[in-house]
Amino acid sequence: MMEEKSHLIDKELEAVLEKDGIKNLNDAAWYHMSTGGKRIRPLLAILTCESLSGSSEKIIPFAAACEILHNWLLIHDDVEDGDRVRRNQPTVWVKYGVPHAVNVGDYLAQKVYELIMRSKGRGVDDETIVKMFNAMITTSLKTAEGQAMDMNLRNDDEPTEEYYLSMVAHKTAYYLTVPMIGAAIVSNREDLIEGIIDFGMNLGPAFQITDDVLDLTEGKGRQEIGRDIKEGKRSMLAVHCLSRCSQKEKDMLIDILNKTPEQTTDADVSAAKELFEKYGSVDYATGVAEKYAKKAKGIAEEMPGNLKDVLNFFADYIVKRRK
C-alpha cells in the first residue's frame, strides 16, 4: 500500500520536475530528491485525507508539494549549516557549489506552488487552492523565522530556554504538520486545523529535545557522540546547563561551543558532557521532552477516530527516526 502511494507521488513529482532539464538545476534537484526516498510527508498527507474523507485523489499534488518543501529546505539548510554530507552522500552545495545550491532551492520552492496549482486538474476549486496556498505560505514563513532564530542562538552566549522553545516551535510545529493541514483543508475539515497545529506545537519540541538528548547518548546515527557540541548548538542541554552552572563553568562551556567542529577535541566533548550531567541537564531535558510528548498524545486522543491513529503513527515515526 505504501509502495503504491509512493509511486503516485513520484509520478506527480516527475510531472513538474523534468529529469533531463537544465544542467546544474534539474539534475541537482533530482540528485538530492533521489537520496531520500521515504516520502513520509506525502504519505502523511494521504493517510490524513483518507482518514477524514476516504479519498486521496485530491491531495496528491499537495502531498507531493510537501515532499518538495522538505527537499528545498534541506538543500538550503545544508548551505546555511555548512553540512557536507547528508544521507551518506555529498550535499548539493558540495557537489554543485553554493551558487547552484541556492538557486536549486529557490527553484524547488516555486515547484511547491506549481504543484499546489495542479490540484485544479483533480477537481479542487479555487477557494480551496487559495487556502492550501495560505497554509504553505504560513508554514514556510514560520520555518524561515525559526531558522533565523536557530542561527542566532548559535552565536548567543546567554541563550534562554524561552528563546530556545520559541525557536523550536517556529521551526517545527508548522513544518511537521503542514501535510495534515493540507489534508484537512481538502477534506473540508478546517475545524481540525487548530488542533493539528497544537499537536505540532507539542510534537515539535518533543522531537527536537529528544534529538538534543540522543546526540549525547546514542549519537543520532551520525556515528559520533556529541556532534551538537562540536557544532556549537545551543541545545536544550546547553541552554539548561548554562543557566545553572557557575560563571567559570559557563565561560568554559561557551568556549567549547564556540570552537569550530574541527577545533573541538574529544576532551572538550567529555568536559561538556560532564557538565551537563553535573547539573542534571540530561534528566531535565528528558523530562521536558516527555511532557511535550504526553501533551501531543493527549491532543491526538481528542481527534476523530481514524485521524487519531494517523497522528499516533506519525508521532512514533518522528520520535523513532529523529532526523
Residues engaged in binding a second copy (CB under 8 A)? 21-25, 76, 79-82, 98-100, 102-107, 109-111, 113-114, 117, 120, 125-127, 129-130, 133-134, 137, 140-141, 144-145, 147-149, 151-152
Could you tell me the smallest distance in angstroms from the CB atom of residue 246 to a second copy? Answer: 28
Could you tell me the smallest distance in angstroms from the CB atom of residue 46 to a second copy? Answer: 23
Could you tell me the smallest distance in angstroms from the CB atom of residue 156 to a second copy? Answer: 10
Angle CA(94)–CA(96)–CA(102) in degrees, nearest 5? Answer: 90
CB 48 within 8 A of CB 310: yes
Phi, psi (rounded to 5 degrees) for 204:
-55, -55
**Minimal CA–CA distance to 175: which of 130, 136, 220?**
136
Could you tell me the smallest distance in angstroms from the CB atom of residue 48 to a second copy? Answer: 23
Which residue is listed with cell 486538474? 121
Please give the Cα distance from 87 to 279 (Å, whole number). Answer: 34
Could you tell me the smallest distance in angstroms from the CB atom of residue 191 to a second copy? Answer: 20
DSSP element (H, E) containing 298: helix 281-301
Q: Which is nearer to a second copy, 174 or 276 (CB)?
A: 174
Please give the Cα distance from 84 to 64 (Å, whole number). Answer: 26
Angle CA(106)–CA(174)–CA(214) in degrees, nearest 5? Answer: 95
Q: Which is nearer to a second copy, 47 or 69 (CB)?
A: 69
Which residue is listed with cell 487552492? 129
**Minimal CA–CA distance to 168: which of 76, 234, 86, 105?**
234
Could you tell me the smallest distance in angstroms from the CB atom of residue 15 to a second copy? Answer: 14
Q: Which is nearer to a second copy, 143 or 286 (CB)?
A: 143
Q: Which is nearer to a second copy, 155 or 265 (CB)?
A: 155
Angle CA(38)–CA(43)–CA(47) in degrees, nearest 5? Answer: 155
Q: Which is nearer to a second copy, 94 or 252 (CB)?
A: 94
CB 184 within 8 A of CB 48: yes
Could you tell me the smallest distance in angstroms from the CB atom of residue 126 to a second copy? Answer: 4
Q: Which is nearer to a second copy, 176 or 288 (CB)?
A: 176
Q: Which is nearer to a second copy, 53 or 103 (CB)?
A: 103
